[in-house]
Amino acid sequence: MSFNKSLSIASALAVLAGASFVASAANAGGAKEVFVETYTFNKPMHGYSGRSGNYYCDYQRLPQRKCVTNANGTESCKVVAWTLREMCQ
């Protein structure tokens, strides 16, 4: 399995896990709402982990790669953009 496919699968699982967490937190009595936002940039952006008002926020920098396979069957990848994922709870 190529690195790009592994990264795609890992990203999909992380999104599903995050969606499950949001649903369970919303159904819990008296729990605060969880906010998840994603932003795309051309370069890696610095995030923040810590309190923001009544919420604890964390940011993850995730590279977006574009991979091509040449005639020899070798795959080369390069980062074409960055995703900054914000999660506040």
Q: Tell me the backbone φ, ψ of residue 63, rounded to 5 degrees.
A: -75, 145
Q: Where are the beta strands (DSSP E) in 32-74?
A: 35-41, 50-52, 55-69
When divided into structural domains, the chain yields a total of 1
Predicted pLDDT of residue 44: 84
In angstroms, the CA 24 to CA 46 distance is 29
Q: Tens place of pLDDT for every residue, the chain, 89 residues?
A: 444 444 444 444 444 444 444 444 445 556 778 989 999 988 888 777 888 888 899 988 899 999 999 888 899 999 999 999 999 98
Q: What is the pTM of this model?
A: 0.51
Domain that holds residue 75: 3-88
